[in-house]
Structures are given as C-alpha cells and as structure tokens.
Amino acid sequence: MSRLAFFVLGLVVGGGLVYGAERYHVLRTNQGFETVPKLSASFSDVYVDVREFTASDWAERQGLAADVLRAHKEYLIKDAVVDQVREKVKGLLQEFGPADAGS
C-alpha cells in the first residue's frame, strides 16, 4: 500500500473513533462492556468504569444516568444500588449480630 492509502485509512479509522466517542458511552460493568448512546454529542464520559459505582456516584453523574435510563439499561443502576443496600444490611447484621440463644 502506498503512503496515501495508509493516510486515508488513518483518516477513516480516526474519524470513526471520534464519531463513536462523541455519540456513545462505553461502560465497563461486572458483566463486560456496554455501549449507551448519548443524548447530546460531547466528549464527556466516553469510557466509564461503573463496576464500583454507588448510588451517590450515579447521582453525581446525572447525565450519564439519564442516558443509561433512555437506553433501557436501568439494571446497571439498579445493580449498584441493590449491592450498596445489601452491603449496609450485612454490616448492620454483623455489628448487632444474632441474639445469644443461651441468655
């Protein structure tokens, strides 16, 4: 291939990556990767690792959360909130513990 062909190929690949970064969020989840379309074209939150997100993290990124809900992938948010509640309940149970049967 000539230099011109490599240059044109680079332009096409680069343009495609810029277009994708401007139009989609790539989310790293516990199940793998998810793509979520953005409501408005921007370069914010192109790649986000949501594996350790809590309810407050989702609240801080309201634009991302809105895009996730519009894409009908609300399970990504629900899983984070359910895991957070489960950990808090588990911590409370360990803190207070079961009552002694012998007393």
Q: Could you report the per-residue pLDDT of 46-68, keeping only the tens digit for each?
A: 999 998 888 888 889 888 999 99
Q: Is residue 99 part of a domain?
A: no
* In a domain? residue 52: yes
Q: Is residue 24 part of a domain?
A: yes
Alpha carbons 71 and 103: distance in angstroms, whole number = 54
Is 60 within a domain?
A: yes
The domain total for the chain is 1
Q: What are phi and psi of 41, to 5 degrees?
A: -70, 120
* Residues of the chain below pLDDT 70: 97-103
Q: What is the pLDDT of residue 11?
A: 95
Domain region containing 71: 3-92
Q: Based on the number of CB atoms within 10 Å of its own CB, is 15 exposed (0-12), middle (13-18) or buried (19 or more)?
A: exposed
pTM exceeds 0.85: no
On whether residue 8 sits in a domain, the answer given is yes
